[in-house]
Amino acid sequence: MTLKGLLLGFGLAFGTMPALHAADFKWANDGDARSLDPYTFNETVQNSLLENIYEPLVEHDRKLGLQPALAVSWETTGPATWRFHLRPNVKWQDGSPFTADDVVFSFQRVTGKNSAKHSQLATIKAIHKIDEMTVDFDTDGADPILPSEMTGWAIMSKKWCEEHNAIENVVLGNGENYALRNTMGTGPFRLTAREPDRRTVMERNPTWWGTPEHNIDRAEFDIIANASTRVAALMSGEMDMIYSVPPQDMDRLAQASGLKVLQGPELRTIYLAMDQTRDELLFSNIKGKNPFKDVRVRRAFALAIDEEAIAKRVMRGQARPTWLIYGPGVNGYDAALDKRPPVDLAKAKSLLAEAGYPDGFQVTMDCPNDRYVMDEQICTAIASMLARINVKIDVYARTKVKFFTDVGYPNYKLSLSLQGWTPATYDAHNVFFTLLATRDPKTGRGQGNNGGYSNPKLDELTEKIGHELDREKRQQMIDEAARIVQDDVAAIPLHQQVIVWAARNNIDVVQPADNAFYLRWVNVK
């Protein structure tokens, strides 16, 4: 029997017409992919850009359901074994055949040293090549959502990596290898030019195994960091689409001739991470101790932040306040637990005083300025709100390339940081396992837990959630885990942002709720 996983998702399709005449297509974003190695970083812009070139075994369809990619089918052959049947007659872009050896190699690479994607396949304890077109995965117990977990795992060419000394990943900034700046995939597009932080050019792959649903011959991804310049490029016709529209420009673009604004709810949750690991914060005037190890301090911060005001004024209504780190559309979401506590400055000051900080303290907040909608403005607003309880926030905003290198795996150099997360499996387990469970380098658990929160009870529940097949029991565990996280204020949830893109009227695209943008569904009329 084939298990299709526990998956809830939703998306908006704008045009599903078949491919028309061949065309060029240009789109812009405010930030670039950090590298071309699909295992160096786990972030939507990089993942979706590279998925035009590399492919997983299982991919998402237009509605975020599952569909075959490099695997044509899969089934369980035992309580803890999944068998995947690979797609025959697939060629790498250098003409060599795709086989089970590539899958085995890619598994070893993605779970090996320095990989930022280890956590996605953490339940797999062994892989077995059955024949050239069949592989088995043994998991550490039943894993009902393994096919969903496969969707974020791009398969790489064993031959290509070996020939170019790219067998292992490198940490960005601490090493160099061929895969950081070059690609070799099986996907519908191939890389033809790359200028980091400026442009990436791809062309149609003539040897792709699939039937194109797009009509693009050449696609160019440009980086335009300034919001006004990015909007102007679309309005002038220089760009066909912009992927990240400032809320303040939505009305103007919607009213402009020949343009359309595309928007829908996003599965990503924006939240604050706090360093709860170090005995002394890296970036604070408090020496010899760490205020964020005290739940009273974390709770005080949460009570001082007026998320309703952020959603209304900073985000201009394009956000949904939340008290969970996963929202509607994610399997396991329970609206009954999504009740944000009201702002209470008097209580927040009292909690700080009880914790030994009656006069507050100073701390630096790390923030990207080109990753999330109004990210730097959100940090600035939070700084003003925390000032009301005598906490001085120094906002350190910079491009996401530098930001994630500092605060993310493997450095975790932060005291307080703005973060965002879309669960790759569209399941709450991914949030607990990756963002909130205790870090474990051996399994990849907690790889995205930038604040280093740790609670053995949550770890135990996370393990059980990952293997529980009974839906009702599983939901009870998810809710229990959510209450632990809320009681501990393990992180401070803020909101789910609204996806806003804008395009010319002759551009048909698909806008899924994970905010990934795939060229394979673009048609230029």
Contact 345, 438 (CB under 8 A): no
**Ranges assigned E (strand) in 279-401:** 319-321, 362-368, 392-398
The whole-angstrom separation of Cα 222 and Cα 205 is: 20
pLDDT: which is higher, 22 or 385: 385
What domains, with CATH codes, occur in the chain? Answer: 11-223+505-524 (3.40.190.10), 267-497 (3.10.105.10)
pLDDT over 90 (residue 8): no
pLDDT tens profile 75-121: 999 999 999 999 999 999 999 999 999 999 999 999 998 898 988 89
Say which residue, 371 or 185, is predicted with more confidence.
185
Query: Phi and psi of 167, rounded to 5°?
Result: -65, -35
To the nearest whole percent, how much of the chain has pLDDT over 90? 86
Look at residue 9 and tell me whether its pLDDT is greater than 90. no
**pTM metric for this prediction:** 0.82
pLDDT tens digits for 417-433?
999 999 989 999 999 99
Rounded to whole angstroms, the Cα distance separating 385 from 393 reads 10
DSSP 317: T
Query: Looking at residue 501, what DSSP letter applies?
Result: E
Instruction: Please provide the average confidence, as pLDDT, over all residues in the chain.
Output: 93
Rounded alpha-carbon distances, angstroms, from residue 66 to 36, 205, 296, 478, 488: 25, 23, 43, 23, 35
CB burial of 84-96 (b: ≥16 within 10 Å; e: otherwise) equals bbbbeebebbeee
* Residue 209 CB burial class (10 angstroms; 0-12, 13-18, ≥19): middle
**Residue 57 in this model has a pLDDT that exceeds 60:** yes
